[in-house]
Every structure is written in structure tokens, then in C-alpha cells.
A and B are shown apart, each in its own frame.
Chain A
Amino acid sequence: MKFHIYILLLLIGLGGTSCEDFLDTPPVSQLSLTGFWNSESDAQLGVAAIYDAAQDAFEQEYWFWGELRGDNYILNDRPGSDTQDAISNFLTNTSFGSDWSDLYTAIAHANIAIDKIPEIPDFTTQNDLLAQAHALRALFYFYAVRVWGDVPNVQGFVDDLSGDVNQPRASATDIFTQIILQDLEMAESLISTNRSPNTFARGGILALKAHVYAWPGAHQDYTIVKNAIEQVESLGYQLETTEEGWSNIFRGNGTGEEIIFWLAWNFSEDGANGGHAQFAGFTPDKVPAETLEAKWETAIPEDYRILQSAAFDVEIENPAEFPFLRILSKFLGVFTDRDAQVNASNSNDKDIPFFRFSGLLLLKAEAEHYLNNGSAALALVNRVREARALPLLVQGVDIDTSNPVAMRNLILDERQFELLGEGHRYWDLVRNGVAVEVMSQVTDINGIPNGLDQDSKILWPISQNVLNRNPNIEQNAAYR
């Protein structure tokens, strides 16, 4: 009978506890928003999450947006459809890179940090962290307007369903004036660190500022570009002066004095989806274009960067089977034979190369050129050439600095050679207004002309995935 009594006692005991207590099950291994954003370490971890979200937003897209649509590459014989869409410039609402979800996720991470960091009681790194959040948001929106044009203006943190979540697109001009320029100003005023290669410091903020003010639009101002880059120069960045030093910038992953801001990609933390892997592998579906090789070898035959950047002439065993084994070797190492692809295993440990000092000097050259200071522009080109141990260009002999087209093309070419594989070429073409002009010369191996045949196609289409989820978003005109 004792057994029964125990059971009965147990039942009474169970019946006696309150049901609400029984149903209160606090999270065991999860973290709730209530109780976060209270301390310095919370702020540090919150800002780390913005960078992490930036990795997701840019891991492949960085090149799809900034480089593949230009003339640096051609398709290998059997490309994936993602690459094919971008390189052929026949983009659709399902093309890879047309979806802004990851970028807006990163923006949301920045928004909450900008909301919450000032509410935390004062701590030493508060301003620095807040500056980084502002700079990151400026960077995200700068990409958004360049990729899609008008985009929704979201600055607050969405924490419930009560507000209107289906905002339409705001004009790109408003995005520049209401977000990007203001965030840059905030970031510049708050930042205290000068240089830090993998997080936003003063150098990175000024580099972003220079690119923003160089971009066509009501806000465009080459004097500000020039001033910003001059400030960058004062922060102590140095150009590499040897072949080894130059190639180590890329293969040593983010070491050296030239790096201003590279978004870190660390294999052990971020996994094997690094964007550089798309250029690696046994048969990458895109390879450096023969036209680029021809242009480069004609312009600067003695340039070591040709071999260090793109393995154009690799001896391979079976050319019939692998007709296009040319590989972007800049980050991965020079390929000498087919087994060399094993080297590509470190492709997952490569950063996303946003801003480098030489690129900034050449952007300053562009600013000087548009400010009609032809000789100042040439001096900057020669400054980079000198560091690369290349013959300097002589005004009036090699180049007529008063010829705007020649000067523009010279700077564009110098940037193309120096920054191959660094996600800038397409932006350079668009910024200088020559995207359609250049791309309409390009045909694929079947002779089909490149799809970038009108200015309206410079912007990307908006992914159907985005359109499905928000009825107020309108497709870009060229893709309707």
C-alpha cells in the first residue's frame, strides 16, 4: 500500500504546483534581446556581428557586383548559370547578386547597433564602435545604390510587425544625402583609431568617403575626394616596392602597409565559402580575358604583375580537354601546372579586398584628372608605376595630359592592371561613364554580343525573391 500512497502524494504534489510556473520555460541555451546591449562587451559583440553579416553580404557578391560585369573575364567553356548571367550581362530577376536580402540583413545589424550603442553607459571604445557601425552602414548603402539605384530607406531597427514593413524604394539621391553622407560624417567625427586593416578606422572611412564623393550624382565633388585621399596619405600607408612585397599583399592575406580596409575572411571562423574560391578550382567557370592579356602586354610588356595576377600561359597536359586553363592567380599563387590547383586550398583564407593604398592614389589621379590637373594626375600614376618598378610615363611623349580621353583611359587601365581581382573594374567603368561603351565591344565565344548595351542595364534587376515579399517594390525599368 505504501507504493500507492507515494504515487498519490506525487499526484497531489503535481496538482499543487501552479500551471503558469509549469509553462514558464526560460530559454536554456539561447540569448534573448531583453538583457543584451547593456555593456561594452555587448557592444563589441554586436559590432562584430555587423562585420559577420557583411561577410555574408559580400562573400561572392563583392565580385559579382564590382568586377564580373566588366571586361576582366570571359566564361570558361562550362560556366554555372550565376557566372554566365553576370559575365554575359544578361541578368534576370533570378540572377545571383540580384537579391538584396543579405545586404539589408547587414544593414539591420548596423541599425540596431547605431540605435543601442549610445544608450549603453559610457565606456572607452563607445565612439569607436559607433563610428564603425556608421561607416559600415554607409558602405552597405553605397553598394545598394550602386547595384540597384533606388532602394528602401531603412534606418531604424524593426522590432515588431506594427509599423509599415512594406516600404517602397527611396530615391538614390535621398539615400546619399540622408544616410551615406551623414553616416560618413558621423563616423569621421567619432573615430579615434587611424589604421586597422580589417575594421573601419580613419583610413577606411576616408577611403570610403573618397569613393562616395567620386560617384556620379548631385553630391559628386572631386575636391572632397582629393582632400580625403590626402588625409589618407598622412596616415602613414606605404606602397610596396618589390615584386615579392607586392605579391605578398595578396598571398600573405592582408599583411603589408598598403591595406586600408579589407573585410577579413578567416577559414576557421567563416568556413569554406570565401569568395576567392570562385577563381580557384580545377576548372573555374571564369578566367581572365585574352583581350586583357593583349592590352596589358602591349601597354607594359615588362610588368611582373601580369604573371603574378593572371596565369595566362600555363602549360597543361591536355589542352583539348581544358582549353581555357587560365586562372586568376593574384591571390592564390602562380599556377605552373595542373597539380598547382592544390594551392587553391588556401582560397578560403582570403580577405575581401575593399580598399588598398595604390587604388586610392589612382582614384586621386582620377580626381585630379577631372579637376583638370592633368600633370598632377600623371604624377600619381607614375608614383604607383615607380613603386612597381615600371617605366615612368613622360608627359607629351607617352601621354598627352591635355587629352581628356587619353588621360581617362590611362588611369582606367592603370587601375584595371593594379586592381585586377579586387572588385573595382565594373565600378570604374560606370563611374567614368564608359560601361556601355566598353562592354559593347565584348563578345562571348559564340560571338554573341555582351548584354550591357544600354545605360538602363547598368543597374541590376531586383530579385524575384525580393519582389515576392514586398508588393511595393518596383522592378528596375530595363528588367520589367
Chain B
Amino acid sequence: MNPKLLLKGFKNFPIWILFACFLSPPILAFSGIDKTASFEGSSGLLPITGKVTDAESGEVLIGASVRIKETTRGALTNSEGTYQIEAEPGEILIFSYIGYETIELPVEENTLIDVSMIVAASALDEVVVVGYGSQRKRDVTGAIASVDVEELEQRAPTNVFEAIQGQMAGVQINTGSGAPGSAGFIRIRGASTFNAGTAPLFILDGQPVENIDNLNPNDIESVEVLKDGASAAIYGSRSANGVVIITTKSGIAGKTDVSVNYLRSYSTLRKMPVSNAQQRLQYDLLRGTQKNTLIDTLNQMWFINNDFQDIYYRTAVRDQINVSLTSGSEKTRFYWNTGFLNQEGVAPSQKFQRFNTRLGLDHNFSDRVRLGLKLAASYNESFNIDEARENNFFGATLIKAAYSPYINPDGSFLTSITSFRGRTNLLYEMENLEVTDRNLRGNIFQYLEFDLLKGLKYRANLGAEFNYIRNTVFEPEAVGGQNNNIGASFFSALEYNWIHESLLFYDKSFGDHTLSILAGFSAQKWGRPEERIEGLLANSLLPTLNNVAGAFDATNTFTLNEEDRSLASVFGRIRYDYRNTVLLSATLRRDGSSRFGPGNRWSNFPSLAVGWRISEWTPIKNLSLVNDVKIRASYAITGNERINNRDFDPLLSIGNFYQGLNGVGLSNQLANPAIQWEETRQTNIGLDLGLWDNRITLTTDYYIKQTEDLLANLPLPAQTGFTQARVNLGEVENRGIELALQAVLLNTQNFSWTTNFNFATNTNEVISMASGVPLISRNHITQEGLPLGSFYGYRILGIFAHDESNAFSPDGQQLTPNFDGNGNFIDYSLNGSPYSGEVNQLSVGGNTSGGGDYIYKDNDGNFSINGDDREILGNPYPKYFGGWRNEFQYKEVSFSFLFDYQFEAEVFNFFHQTMSNFTLNSWTPIPYIIENTYDGPGDESALFPDGRRSQNLLGTGAPTSYWVEEADFIKLRNVRLSYNFPMDIIERVKLENLMLFGSINNALVWTNYTGFDPEVTGGNASSLATGVDNARYPRGREFIFGLNLGF
């Protein structure tokens, strides 16, 4: 049977069946409670004690469970590995511990029962966290990448994005700009949506959260990324971009462990080439608008050579400290961590501070009831530079004329107003402008778990998340707005959401068959009230008071907005396992979202995955080399609903003031009541291979992801009065191969070498678009048959050396002008022979090009260059990317390094293109541009046009081939050397461990890109318009020194 048909059938699955499922657990739970079981002891019992140890090493096992069969009585081993329990003779004790074979022993006369436990064969495999539960890695039938705590620590990260970058095949991470506290983004298996957001769904300890920017990486135990549709489909809606599951550390029973980590780092920026005063004066002359410039030493500016990179940038320091405590008994365990981060930016006065605390508490209320709590809070405050101002800070330092003064004779900074030629003085602004962002976030999550019957478990989750945001901008009088006013603005928002989930688990083994069933129900609601107040405090007598209350009229810029949304879901999963050989998993989720209009709200998201462990098949089983081979296949439909809350509703805009009336106008978006879910159909085929006792493991996957009913912003013709509508438009496909190789290459007593290599390919193609009309934005085009968001602009073939060089034969071949000895034009030749035919001239926007103008490629052959001559110039999405991590351990010393790379991607160097246009007086181009600018008739080697003829530039409206550059790179992302003090020294100072490390982030980059960094920041908002380099805050090289202490 065609699997697609089968799944279509699934889509019509009656919802009431699942409703019945979610209503039943409470009822079952209620009836299943044995009110006395957990509290009453039976009389006449024998007190039994004993010690539980590992059979091989003899080490005690802390927290092992001791249970009496067919009762609810039980105990856990304490920190010495001993337990105490009361039992009647004849009853059977069950000893169990994660990763060990379970042991059953009958109680006889002996009241001292010591047990040594054997590591279970399956424990050779790691356990991975999957949606609503965990699974042995060897049983996984989907594509799941996982990074554990050791790999996470590699880079001494400040956030999760840095921690996992380059470590997972097919998971592309951009750590955002170099600004302290800036958020990164994750793209899993390419971009499969137009405008609905490409970010994955984040699940933090089982709770879907809005973002993980503020998470302290020290809290993380593991990060799992569910890449294929079938793994993610249990999260149905919102899972089309993949799911990132983050598990934080939890308490371990035993004695109290205290661990203290401290690190300090120093970051610096690489210097970029900039023009000096002489070159800038040359530019003034080339630009032609400045007639009085003296290009020699008589000009006083000749000698003023300020190096603004030296003046403005500083070495930024980061301090990060964490203290964590973990402890617990058989019944209650906790993990508590508190951390503080103080990170400076390389821009002066810029700083990010974060305070985090997290508490995890698990309690075994009785043998059948467990409950727990995760509480996390963080507060961060950042003092920023206003990147929106003066283009942006970093760009501005690179384009400022070297002769611009910045300091007064008395040492104070020149202000923005009287600075040179109207340019603001950044240092002055930095010193006086206050841009403060503050966030207070909290997460509350609690669970309650009942064992209802044997194998049947009910779990209730209740979570809440809030984020209070408060941003202020204050421009004191001296900085001034456009008119030297004092300006202040305040923005605050409270984002909150709560979630409730009811889950029912059933596990059953019979003979060779293992069955595991999950049914669940979830409801989540979000709200976000926000308000913004802006005011100008003209002529205020308190020019430095940051208080908008003094604004002469603040009412006009007081805005308030509140929106909410909700999501309801029912879901289920069946997993079946036959002798560890045949693995089967099927899920179905039905989601309803308030973001769609009535009638379009609900959709079903099914999945099916199968795995076959070939290694259980006798011919392979007998190969000594191979110890595990598994092939996997899965198919799933997942969804995306990340659009605005009310795209279906014809909203009006308010605040359109005229003459005191609060005009009510049209919003710029046309409502679309027919808007519905975006669906991604993903097929995944994978192979897992374990060789030489799993010393080498290889995981490889092939996937095809087809996204239909793409949620897109359709730009509307201006004459409609709207700029866009949200529509379901077309289909896009991503396909690729992923490969992850993990090998322990050497493992001797003193030396080990582990290597981790990952590689991924992704190609992306727009299969169809409803209207067939391409979406063209300023720099990008999205069109059937092409990848998403390709760069679209003009190809430049060169510069006309003479006015007469603008001459073409009717078939478009450029003619060569011939001149006599006096430079007078004589005639044309073509390919060396005289030409006497028709001569055509290129014109740009109606103006005939001449010497010093760009030779644009005339794609339609009409000798007129306009929008029709644009072509595809590249694509921002890399075709190949991955990482390579190596770790060497020699006795107490460990050394590791991490490379990552991307190939076959392009970036649009908008920053350099803008400066090469010569139209902006305030921009000083880089020396390369000035040196290669056309300097008069006959300049055959010029690369850039005559600065005086800027009217023929099309580059201000679209990219040109000059500046769409290769974005390939290999980065030595991190090198790290650490030293663990040997036990004898540590014990002498009464510590458990002591480790010192030194590390370098962004150590080296190999790239041909002329801008600062080919890994362009930003651009998670729309997958149709990424890869434009605006010279935003670049990432520096960071030298880190740290210390980890345990006692």
C-alpha cells in the first residue's frame, strides 16, 4: 500500500478517539490509587539491609532501587551504597539500577543481602532523550543528533548556540553577532519555509519554551536535536523545522557535591583595512563634488590620520562564574546552580550581565508516585550601543574619514553636532547615549507521575514561562535627535505562556515483543502585553534626566498592544520492538492553533518509522569486526504555524493622527481568512554502524523534505493599498546527506585520541509557487526551480575605458575604439578587423553610459539596462557544511580542537557595495576601491566607476556581481588545553577535582571573503532574505582561561 495513502487516511482519524484517551487518564489515575499503600508498613516484617556494588569494579552504586515484587514497598541505596527495607520471608527483592541487569532475590532467613550488579549489555548504548521520554540510542529509528556535557564545555560558551556549533551533522548554527548577549539561531536541514520562521521548537526539560537565549550552558546535561520528521512529529505543530531538546542537570543521590567554575577571557577584533587621510582626500577628488581639496601636504588634513579602529575598539573582558550543588537521598534529590556572567563588548561602554539560577528537585513520594520541580530564573541587563544609529557602530568606524577630528584640545570628545561635516562622533555618542535592555525571565515546571497499574503510568506536566522585557533609550541633549532634542523611549513587554500536559504511558513485554504506548493531551496559551512610550524633551531644563515624564508631548508616541494565542493538541505514539531486531514506531498528533481562522485550525500530523538491526542477522552477527548495523526509514508530516497571531483577521491600524483625531486606517497587511497550516513531508533513510566494539560508529542519513502550503508573505502590488498578505504559497524541497563519524582512534592507559567528524549536504529548491510569479525583494529572488532567496542583481563585466568604448555590434559584442596619436577617436574594430556596421550603445535607466561607467551585462540584448537584466548571482545557503572535533588525552592533560566549515555559499557584501557607489559623502571606501576607481579616459584597469557619474549606478537598488562573494570558510572555532590535577595532589588539598584550562575561540579563519566574516549575522526572520553583510557587530578572537573546582 502506498504509504502516502495510508497517511492520508490517518489524517481523517476521528479526534474523539484521542479525546477519550486524554480524558481517561485522570479517571484511571483516580481509581488506581491505593490510598494506604505508600504509608502503612506491614507488621511482622524482617528488617533487611545490604550493600549494592558494581560487579566489575566493586564500586558502590548510589541510588539503586530495591523493591519488593508485587508490592509498592521499596527503597534506594544511600551514598554508601547500602539500603534498608522490611520484607517477609518468601517475598522477592528486585534490585534495579539504570544501565544494569535487574536482579531478583528471594528473602530468606538472612537479613543481610549484598548484591553486585552486572552492567547490562544494552547499557553499552547511550540513552537519548526523545519527545516525551527517552530511548536507547541503539533503538532509535529516526535521525537524532546529540551532544553531551563534555562536548558542550569545549568552548566555554555563554549560550547554547555556541556550545553546540559545529558538532552535529546537518545542524547549522549561527551564533549571532559579536555583541555580548546576542542570540544565535539554528537551522536544521536547510530552510523549509518562506516567512514562517526557520527556528526549531525548543523543549527544555519537557517544556516547550519560546527561546533559550538566557539559558546558562553550565546547566545543560545534554542537547538532542530531532532532525527527521518522524522523531519530531510527536510535537506535530511547530516541529517542521526540527526540535531541539535540552535536558538540564538533575540531582544525584549521595553526598553533597559542590562544583565551582570560573573563567576569564579577553576578546579582540581583527583590524580591517581602511583608507588613511591621503586616500580619503584622493576619494574626495575622485568624487568630484569637492572642488577645493588639495591633494598634497599643503592641506592640513593630510597629516591627520586617526585610526578609528584603534581609537574605538577595546579588548573586551568576560568573567563567568558558576557554583553548583547537587545532593540527595533515596527519596529526594536536587540540583542547584547559580551563575553570573559579565561580558564586555569591544565597543566602549558596552556590557552584558546575566545572573542565572536553577533548581531541580525530584522526590519519590512513594513507590508509585513521583513528583518534581524545575525552577529557573535569570536576569540580564545589557548596556548597548544603538546599532540602528549612524548605520551601525562597526560600519561607521570603518568608513569615517581618517582626518575627522574626534577630540577637543581639552581632552573632551567632540559632540555630534559640531563635529566635522555633520558627522556624529561615535565616541561622544557612546559616552552619552544610554541604550539599556533588561530581561527578567522565569520558568516554572512541575510534574507528577503515578504508576497506575503494572506498566501503566500517568504523568501530568504543568509549566509556566514568563519574560519581562524592558528596553530604554535615552539621548541626552548633547547627543540629540535630528534637532538636538533630548529624546527618551521606553519599551516594556511581558511575555508569558503556560502549558498543561496529561500523558499516559504503557509499557509491556511479552516474549520477544516489547510494546510501548503513549497517549497525551496538551494545551498551551501565550500572551504578550506590551507598551512603548517615546518622547522628545525639547528645551528641557533637565537635559540629562532620563525620564520621559518631562516630554512636552508624549501621548502621540504612546502605543500599547496586547495579543494572545493558544494551541491545543492530542497525540499518541506506539513503539514496537521484536527481539531488538525489528523496531517500529508510529505517532499521530492533532493540533489546533488560534493563529488560523475558524475552519482551518486543526490539522493531523502522522509519522511512521521502522528500523531493522541487520547485525542480529546471523551472517552479519558472525562478523567479529561489525558489532552493530541498523537500517532505518521514516516518513512524517509535520507542521509550522509561526506566523502572526491574526493574519486571518482584517485588522485596522490606529494612531493615524491628523489634526487631533486618532485616525483609523488600513493596516499594511491584507487579511487572508483562508490561511492554513504549512506542512512538511519528510522521508528519512539512515544507517547506523558500529565497528570494533563500537570504537568506530558511523551514522548516516539521507532525507527529502517537501514543504507544502508554504506560509509566505506575498508582496502585493502597491495599488492595492497593502504591502503584503500572508498566504499559503507553493512548495519547497530540501534534500541532503548527513554523516557523523565518531572514532576512538587510540585508547591506551595513558593516551587516548577521539575524533568526531560530521558532514552534511543540503540542496534546496522551490518546486512550485501558486502564482508562478517570483518573489523579488531588494536583494533576493525566490522563483520556481531555484533555491530559496537567491541573490538577484546585475552582472558587471567591467568599466568603459572611454566614452567611445560604449559600442556594441547588434549581436552584443563589444567593439574596440581606435584612437589616433592625439587621442581622437577614429573608428571601431571588432575582433581585430575594422567594423563599419551598426553601433549600439548601452544605456542605464535611459542614460547612455560613457567612460567610467559600469559595463552591465545586457541579458535581454536590447542595449538598455533595467530590472529585466538582473540575474541570479548566488545563494546564501551552503551546500556543504560540518565540523571536526578531536580530543587527545595524555594522563592528566587533555587537548582538543574544533573546526567547522561551509562550502558553496555566497554572501552579499552590501557594506562594500554601498561604499563603492561613491554616492555617499559620509562613507570612505576601503583603499582597494579608491585605488581601483576610474581616473579618466583610457583607464583600462579600473574596477570601479567614475565617482562623478554615479547616476548610472544600479547597484544602489540591487546586488552586483562584484559584491556577491564566496562565503566558503574553514574556521578553527576553538582550541582548548586543560589539565586535571592528579588525585594525590587534590586529596592533599581536600578537593574532589581541580582542573585548569586555556582555550581560544574563533582562533583562525580561512576564507576568500573580503568582508569581516563570511558567516553573516542575523537573518533568522525570513529565509528569503538572508546572507546580506551590513557590517554588523563582528565576532572577535577570544582567549579564555578557566578553573574548575570540585569539593
Q: How many residues of A contact B (CB 8 A)?
A: 112
Q: Does A380 contact B (CB under 8 A)?
A: no
Q: Tell me if B864 and A480 are in contact (CB < 8 A).
A: yes
Docked complex: A154-178 residues within 8 A CB-CB of B:
154, 157-161, 165-167
**Residue on A with the closest CB to B483?**
A345
Closest 6 pairs (CB-CB, A-B): A108-B721, A90-B951, A49-B665, A48-B663, A49-B663, A94-B957
> Chain A interface: which of B114-122, B258-266, B643-651?
B643-651
Q: Tell me if B722 and A108 are in contact (CB < 8 A).
A: yes
**Residue on A with the closest CB to B668?**
A105
Determine the chain A residues whose CB is within 8 A of the CB of B844 once the complex forms: 92
Q: Does A403 contact B (CB under 8 A)?
A: no
Report B421 CB to chain A, min CB distance, Å: 7
Q: Tell me if B773 and A446 are in contact (CB < 8 A).
A: no
Contact of A109 among B30, B568, B719, B721 (CB under 8 A): B721
Q: Tell me if B720 and A108 are in contact (CB < 8 A).
A: yes
Known contacts: A28-B562, A79-B289. The answer to whether A159 contacts B650 by CB under 8 A is yes
Docked complex: B1-54 residues within 8 A CB-CB of A:
19, 22-23, 25-27, 29-30, 33, 35
Report B482 CB to chain A, min CB distance, Å: 5
A156 CA / B717 CA spacing, docked (Å): 15
Q: Tell me if B950 and A29 are in contact (CB < 8 A).
A: no
Q: Does B861 contact A (CB under 8 A)?
A: no
**Residue on B with the closest CB to A54?**
B658
Q: Tell me if B654 and A31 are in contact (CB < 8 A).
A: yes
Q: Tell me if B422 and A283 are in contact (CB < 8 A).
A: yes
Q: List 11 A-B contacts (CB under 8 A).
A: A8-B30, A12-B23, A29-B529, A33-B671, A78-B921, A104-B721, A161-B725, A161-B727, A268-B553, A277-B482, A446-B948
Q: Does A88 contact B (CB under 8 A)?
A: yes
Report B863 CB to chain A, min CB distance, Å: 11
Q: Tell me if A92 and B718 are in contact (CB < 8 A).
A: no
Determine the chain A residues whose CB is within 8 A of the CB of B714 once the complex forms: 161
Q: Tell me if A46 and B664 are in contact (CB < 8 A).
A: yes
Q: Does A107 contact B (CB under 8 A)?
A: yes
Kindly state the interface size class of chain B when it binds its partner: 35 or more
A264 CA / B661 CA spacing, docked (Å): 12
Q: Does B565 contact A (CB under 8 A)?
A: yes
Contact of B556 among A42, A53, A158, A269 (CB under 8 A): A269
| Binary CB contact string for chain B from 405 to 424 against chain A (1 if under 8 A, 0 otherwise) | 00000000000010001100
Known contacts: A31-B654, A52-B657, A466-B717. The answer to whether A92 contacts B845 by CB under 8 A is yes
Q: Tell me if B460 and A7 are in contact (CB < 8 A).
A: yes
A301 CA / B483 CA spacing, docked (Å): 34
Docked complex: A221-267 residues within 8 A CB-CB of B:
264, 266
Q: Does A471 contact B (CB under 8 A)?
A: yes
Known contacts: A104-B721, A283-B421. The answer to whether A469 contacts B482 by CB under 8 A is no
Q: Tell me if B656 and A470 are in contact (CB < 8 A).
A: no
Q: Tell me if B723 and A101 are in contact (CB < 8 A).
A: yes
Known contacts: A48-B657, A446-B288. The answer to whether A464 contacts B867 by CB under 8 A is yes
Q: Does A475 contact B (CB under 8 A)?
A: yes
Known contacts: A23-B568, A25-B565. The answer to whether A154 contacts B719 by CB under 8 A is yes
Q: Does B206 contact A (CB under 8 A)?
A: no
A22 CA / B917 CA spacing, docked (Å): 55
Determine the chain A residues whose CB is within 8 A of the CB of B657 once the complex forms: 48, 52, 266, 269-270
Q: Tell me if B773 and A471 are in contact (CB < 8 A).
A: yes
**Residue on B with the closest CB to A198?**
B659
Docked complex: A37-90 residues within 8 A CB-CB of B:
42, 44-53, 55, 75, 77-81, 84-85, 88, 90
Q: Does A199 contact B (CB under 8 A)?
A: yes
Docked complex: A427-455 residues within 8 A CB-CB of B:
445-446, 448, 451
Determine the chain B residues whose CB is within 8 A of the CB of A44 once the complex forms: 661
Q: Tell me if A158 and B521 are in contact (CB < 8 A).
A: no
Q: Give the interface centre of A48, A88, A281, A467 by most chain B CB atoms within 10 Å.
A: A48
A93 CA / B951 CA spacing, docked (Å): 11
Q: Does A34 contact B (CB under 8 A)?
A: yes
Q: Does B907 contact A (CB under 8 A)?
A: no
**Residue on A with the closest CB to B369?**
A4
A446 CA / B290 CA spacing, docked (Å): 10
Determine the chain B residues whose CB is within 8 A of the CB of A451 once the complex forms: 847, 951
Q: Tell me if A165 and B33 are in contact (CB < 8 A).
A: no
10 further A-B contacts with Cβ under 8 Å, apart from A30-B651, A161-B727, are A8-B30, A52-B663, A77-B289, A105-B666, A269-B657, A277-B482, A282-B422, A342-B484, A344-B483, A475-B866
Q: Give the interface centre of A42, A49, A91, A93 by most chain B CB atoms within 10 Å.
A: A49
Docked complex: B834-887 residues within 8 A CB-CB of A:
844-847, 862, 864, 866-867
| Binary CB contact string for chain A from 335 to 372 against chain B (1 if under 8 A, 0 otherwise) | 00000001011011000000000000000000000000
Docked complex: B357-390 residues within 8 A CB-CB of A:
369
Q: Does A11 contact B (CB under 8 A)?
A: yes
Q: Does B593 contact A (CB under 8 A)?
A: yes
Q: Does A379 contact B (CB under 8 A)?
A: no
Q: Does A398 contact B (CB under 8 A)?
A: no
Q: Tell me if B720 and A165 are in contact (CB < 8 A).
A: yes
**Residue on B with the closest CB to A107?**
B721
Q: Tell me if A88 and B483 are in contact (CB < 8 A).
A: no
Q: Does B824 contact A (CB under 8 A)?
A: no
**Residue on B with the closest CB to A454?**
B846
A4 CA / B500 CA spacing, docked (Å): 15
Q: Does A298 contact B (CB under 8 A)?
A: no
A50 CA / B417 CA spacing, docked (Å): 36
**Residue on A with the closest CB to B563?**
A28
Q: Does A478 contact B (CB under 8 A)?
A: yes
Q: Does B433 contact A (CB under 8 A)?
A: no
Determine the chain B residues whose CB is within 8 A of the CB of A14 once the complex forms: 500, 523
Report B1007 CB to chain A, min CB distance, Å: 31
Report A310 CB to chain B, min CB distance, Å: 21
A28 CA / B722 CA spacing, docked (Å): 23
Docked complex: B947-969 residues within 8 A CB-CB of A:
948, 950-954, 956-958
| Binary CB contact string for chain B from 814 to 850 against chain A (1 if under 8 A, 0 otherwise) | 0000000000000000000000000000001111000
Known contacts: A167-B719, A323-B292. The answer to whether A468 contacts B483 by CB under 8 A is no
Determine the chain B residues whose CB is within 8 A of the CB of A5 once the complex forms: 30
Report A278 CB to chain B, min CB distance, Å: 11
**Residue on A with the closest CB to B864?**
A480
Contact of A161 among B27, B422, B672 (CB under 8 A): B672
Known contacts: A348-B483, A464-B867. The answer to whether A11 contacts B26 by CB under 8 A is yes
Q: Does A143 contact B (CB under 8 A)?
A: no
Determine the chain A residues whose CB is within 8 A of the CB of B295 once the complex forms: none
Q: Does A19 contact B (CB under 8 A)?
A: yes
Contact of A30 among B417, B556, B561, B601 (CB under 8 A): B561
**Residue on A with the closest CB to B292?**
A320
A15 CA / B460 CA spacing, docked (Å): 13
Q: Does B271 contact A (CB under 8 A)?
A: no
Q: Tell me if A15 and B23 are in contact (CB < 8 A).
A: yes
Known contacts: A11-B26, A445-B291. The answer to whether A27 contacts B646 by CB under 8 A is yes
Determine the chain A residues whose CB is within 8 A of the CB of B292 once the complex forms: 320, 323
Q: Does B716 contact A (CB under 8 A)?
A: yes
A214 CA / B953 CA spacing, docked (Å): 37
Report A327 CB to chain B, min CB distance, Å: 14
Q: Tell me if B718 and A466 are in contact (CB < 8 A).
A: yes
Q: Tell me if B538 and A345 are in contact (CB < 8 A).
A: yes
**Residue on B with the closest CB to A473?**
B717
A20 CA / B601 CA spacing, docked (Å): 9
Known contacts: A49-B664, A111-B721, A470-B719. The answer to whether A15 contacts B521 by CB under 8 A is yes
**Residue on B with the closest CB to A163?**
B720
Q: Tell me if B776 and A90 are in contact (CB < 8 A).
A: no
Determine the chain B residues whose CB is within 8 A of the CB of A33 once the complex forms: 650-652, 671
Q: Does B448 contact A (CB under 8 A)?
A: yes
**Residue on A with the closest CB to B650?**
A33
Q: Tell me if A469 and B715 are in contact (CB < 8 A).
A: yes
**Residue on A with the closest CB to B30?**
A8
Contact of A479 among B290, B723, B845 (CB under 8 A): B845
Docked complex: B729-786 residues within 8 A CB-CB of A:
773, 776-778
Q: Does A124 contact B (CB under 8 A)?
A: no
